[in-house]
A and B are shown apart, each in its own frame.
Chain A
Amino acid sequence: MRRLIQAVPLLLGISIASFAILKAIPGGPLAAYENDPNVTDADIRRLEHELGLDQPVPLQYASWLGKFVVGDWGYSVVSHQPVLRLIGERLPNTVLLMGTVFLVVVLLTIPIGTLTAVRQYSIFDHVTTGTTFAFLSMPTFWLGLLLIIAFGLDLRWLPLGGMRAPGAAGVDLIDSARHLVLPVATIALVQLGSRVRYLRASMLETISQDFMRTARAKGLAERVVVLRHALKNASIPLVTVLALDLPELFAGALVTEQIFGWPGMGRLFWDSATRFDYPVLMGILAVTSTLIVLANLFADVLYGYLDPRIRYG
């Protein structure tokens, strides 16, 4: 509870910093109108005033914060749509993408991580360690493009991007799945590397501890020893890492969504950033930072629950 209260000034500080940084970037949303021969200087000044851009920055922040805390997220300065609506229409797409990634990563990490540790220095261990390291070092934009070229352009197995086939009516699970494969693979392959490494390391550490020998000495089957005793203990650091991934369910994947034309939060953030759409950016940043703080808190609590030796004062 005390930690929750401590989070409030922290979040306030984050929002001040984000607003200041956004405002410090030279340029503004009206730059887009410059090349229109019909837009006069008077039009620009009228719009500046209308959107509050002619006010001092601290005042702009105060007016944003005042409305935000009572639930008014404001309107986009470019499309004039409510920020909540803009976020609302992208959020399900991002949850679908990042949720699938999360599941895939968890489902693959546990068996692979466990196996590589149990069969340390086997061929399987060497191959997975090598592969995961390779993917871990790949930038997502490069890996994504590579997958598009291979499976989309050359083999023509999968769509090049987007979330559904043009003109597809209603919900078509197979079509959605086909569109999900490449972006999910891009993010999951990169994430998988570090998660597997985590689990392998903590598994190795656990396996060599005394209670494991005791378990074996009790005559338990090797499967039970590994899964019930070793994995449960070894997964504690992994749970922490995965809990810290949770904010991504909201924030999305900036680069991957951009490459695959996925209509999610990452692209909304990117598009808004290029248009200097301050209210939308602030809305996304506020939620993301809140989620990160909460996820940290959650990870701590979970940690304490999984490992009763850890106590917070």
Chain B
Amino acid sequence: MSRLSIVVALAFVVAACGPSTGGTSPSGAPSASGGPVRGGTLVFAIWQEPVALAPHLRNQTVANVVARPVTEGLSRTDTDGNYQPRLAKQIPTTTNGGVKLTSDGKMDVTWQLLPNLKWSDGEAVTSADIKFTWQVWMKDPNTISRTGFDQIESIDTPDDMTAVVHYKTVYGPYPNNFGDGLIPKHVLENVQDISKSDYVRMPLGTGAFKITEFVAGDHITVERNPNYRVAGKPYLDKVIFRSVPSREAAIAQLKAGEVQGMWNLLESQTPDLEKTPDVKLEIYPSPSVERIEMNTAKNQDMTDPNSVHPVLGDINVRHALLLATPKQDLIDKLLFGKAKPGTSPVSQGWASPKSLTQEGYDLNKAKQLMDQAGWVAGSDGIRSKGGVRASISIVTTTGDQTRERVEQVLVDQYKQIGVELKIANQPSSVLLSGSWSAGDPRKRGSFDLVMYASSPGIDPHNTVFQRYYSKNIPSAANGGNGQDYTRFKNPDADKAIDEAGSTLDFDKRKSAYAAALKLLNDAHVIIWLYERAGIDARRTNVGGWSGNVWDDITWNQEEWYLTAR
């Protein structure tokens, strides 16, 4: 029975994948002046400095923005969150025989390369490059994330076009495993330490463009790849990624016409640009969700996950704080309406539980809850219960104006329901270090409320498992492992997450995640503030440009073109 549903689900995904050449027509509307034009140089402003462009060593968004049109993987994700084959003929599924589940709980995935693929230096791309890619990812000590690759037991290459990937387990996110970029064996097989070679800055790829110049701190130039597999693409001859000192400088240069495109604007910058002629904003959903997480265990360094927070240990208090948070108001006033109230950590894609809700702003109900739970207001209006004052602190990253304003609003709102909120912000290098030894207060449990944003991948398993599974509560005992910062634990949620992780059935996985996330919401440990939008800007004479929820703005750069006006 379950086999059948896998078939149905995967068939659906494949059907949505579209033509296998990657040569789809631009999904962005063509400019008014007509269709694509060949030729021209586009200047794109980057206001951060890319440090590494090699697929296994890059992590910054800016590095992805620059390298996406250069290095290609076997698959990519389209704007709807569906996997598209890129260098592969098709996404392997159980339906098309590409995925075989073995009786011992393992999985074999067979990838077929497109015929006549060439690296931009003219050498042929073979299945040996797929195997080499996995080896580099596992061998190079400086690889940033080995997620997925560490689930691979071995890779067979029966012929030049075929690679059979043997997974140790049933690994759901397999279609995207080789999505960041293949690594050329013929260039690097004899290089001792890849992370110290020139490949780090100028990786060789198969994409529409090849890197021809990397001038640190100044610009990176990519030019048309003569060996690109799609005839007639890309339209542009050249793209120059120009280094500018800040977002504000990028905006100034965009207005002045010195650059034609930039990415990742702030909501507060949109009203000004909306009024600027010759500049067009692209606003689209992103998977990033801003949230406030509440520590249910005692707020102290190396907290005992079984301890109970004197104030936030009470579910009624947490519930009341949610009700006292005016999400829509914050969005309208501080984010200029360019966001949506959040309901879960998985806001986009196939796994997003659209039916999930979180209660809206209701001060009266919040007060009632506090009353019922026995929190009595003192002479200063702050409630207390059993000698414990309802006084808590909130921490977020310093220097973020929007977050600081949100805090101001919350101090005022929470005071109205008798809860005292104190602001104690920390630099993001500490608050978001993600490291036990670097003293991340979320890891150490030394916080009451923490406000930050996080986004899951297109396959949400890693996020849901790391953040909401009870064994991932960081503590001294487990060496600070995991990201279940609220110390949320629920055996039913654990079970649902286990279930989702052990099947390839999309429908089953989706409902299992929804069940787990419903339990999370019922515990009122996290306030999902808002789903942030991706905001990019370009000159109006740039065509073929289209935002992608799951990918960087340059994901379809082969479709970009410049018109005279």
* A294 at interface, CB cutoff 8 A: no
Any A CB within 8 A of the CB of B60 = yes
Which one, B141, B146, B432, contacts A35 given CB within 8 A? Answer: B432
Q: Contact between A264 and B145 (Cβ–Cβ < 8 Å)? A: no
Chain A residues, CB < 8 A from B60: 32
Which of these, B57, B238, B428, B481, contacts A41 with CB under 8 Å?
B481
Residues of chain A lying within 8 A (CB to CB) of residue B52 = 78-80
- Asked whether B59 lies within 8 Å of A156 as measured between CB atoms, the reply is no
Which residue of the partner chain, among B144, B200, B252, B259, contacts A79 with CB atoms under 8 Å? B200
CB-CB contacts below 8 Å: A1-49 with B? 25-28, 30-48
Please determine whether A161 and B244 come into contact, CB atoms closer than 8 angstroms. Answer: yes
Q: Contacts A26-B438, A31-B429, A159-B258: A261 and B456 contacting too (C-beta < 8 A)?
A: no
**Interface SS of B by simple majority:** loop
Interface 0/1 of B182-212, CB less than 8 Å to A: 0000000000000110001100000000000
The interface bits of chain A over 44-86 (1 if a CB of B lies within 8 angstroms of the residue's CB, else 0) are: 1111101001100000000000000000000110111110001
- For residue B87, CB closer than 8 A to chain A, the reply is no
A31 touches B245 (CB 8 A): no
B437, A54: Cβ atoms under 8 Å?
yes
> Which listed residue, A31, A166, A260, touches B43 by the CB 8 Å rule?
A166
Residue of A nearest to B44 (CB): A166
Is there contact, CB below 8 Å, between A30 and B195? no
Q: Do the beta carbons of A263 and B434 come within 8 Å of each other?
A: no
Residues of A within 8 A of B480 (CB): 41
Contact with B along A257-272 (1 / 0, CB 8 A): 0111111100110010
Q: How far is the CA of A34 from the CA of B455 in the complex (A)?
A: 11
Residues on the A chain within 8 Å of B30, using CB: none
Contact with B along A152-167 (1 / 0, CB 8 A): 1100100111111011
Q: Evaluate contact between A27 and B41: CB separation under 8 angstroms.
A: no
The one of A43, A79, A89 in contact with B146, judged by C-beta atoms closer than 8 angstroms, is: A43
Q: Is B94 at the interface (CB under 8 A from chain A)?
A: no
Contact status B249-A160, CB under 8 Å:
yes
The answer on a CB contact under 8 Å between A90 and B438 is no
Known: A160-B249, A260-B245. Contact between A30 and B216, CB under 8 A? no
B256:A160 contact, CB within 8 angstroms: yes
Contacting pair B256 A152 (CB below 8 A): yes
Chain A CB within 8 A of B98 CB: no
CB distance from B181 to the nearest CB of A (A): 14
Chain B: which residue is nearest A39 at the CB level? B145
Check A102 for interface membership: any CB of B closer than 8 A. Answer: no
Does B217 contact A30, Cβ atoms closer than 8 Å? Answer: no
Give the shortest distance, in Å, between B287 (CB) and chain A (any CB). Answer: 9
> Which chain A positions have C-beta within 8 A of B455?
35, 37
User: B432 touching A43 by the CB < 8 A rule?
Assistant: no
Residues of chain B lying within 8 A (CB to CB) of residue A75: 196
Interface of chain A residues 192 through 225 with chain B (CB within 8 A): none
Alpha-carbon distance between A152 and B146 when the two chains are bound, in angstroms: 46
Residues of B near A152 (CB, < 8 A) are 252, 256
Among B427, B434, B462, B466, residue most surrounded by chain A Cβ atoms (within 10 Å): B434
Most buried by B among A37, A42, A50, A276: A37
Closest to A271 in B: B49
Closest to A30 in B: B435
> B residues within 8 A CB of A166?
41, 43, 219, 240, 242, 258-259
| Beta-carbon nearest neighbor of B197 in chain A | A80
Q: Which of A33, A41, A48 makes the CB contact (< 8 A) with B144?
A: A33
Residue contact A167 to B51, C-beta cutoff 8 Å: no
A267 to B48, CA, bound (A): 11
Q: Determine the distance from Cα of A241 to Cα of B259 in the docked complex, in whole angstroms.
A: 41
B32 within 8 A of A: no
Minimum distance in angstroms from A254 CB to a CB of chain B: 12
A86 and B216 form a contact (CB under 8 A): yes
Q: Does B218 contact A (CB under 8 A)?
A: yes
User: Complex formed: what's the CA distance from A36 to B454 in Å?
Assistant: 8
**B463 at the A/B interface (Cβ < 8 Å)?**
yes
The residues of B that contact A162 with a CB separation of less than 8 Å are: 218-219, 242-244
- Please name all residues of chain A whose beta carbon is closer than 8 Å to the beta carbon of B201 when the two chains form the complex: 79, 81
Asked if A80 contacts B481 (CB within 8 A), the reply is no
Contact A81 B196 (CB under 8 A): yes
**Interface 0/1 of B139-180, CB less than 8 Å to A:** 001111111100000000000000000000000000000000
28 A-B Cβ contacts within 8 A?
Answer: A27-B429, A27-B438, A31-B435, A34-B432, A34-B433, A36-B144, A37-B454, A37-B456, A38-B148, A38-B462, A39-B147, A41-B480, A41-B482, A43-B145, A43-B146, A47-B142, A80-B57, A81-B200, A89-B215, A162-B218, A163-B218, A166-B219, A167-B43, A263-B217, A263-B218, A267-B217, A268-B216, A276-B429
Closest 4 CB pairs of A and B: A27-B429, A263-B217, A34-B434, A79-B51
Given contacts A40-B466, A166-B242, A263-B218, 17 further A-B contacts (CB under 8 A): A26-B439, A31-B438, A32-B59, A37-B456, A37-B457, A40-B147, A40-B462, A42-B146, A43-B147, A44-B434, A47-B144, A48-B435, A90-B216, A153-B256, A166-B219, A261-B249, A263-B216
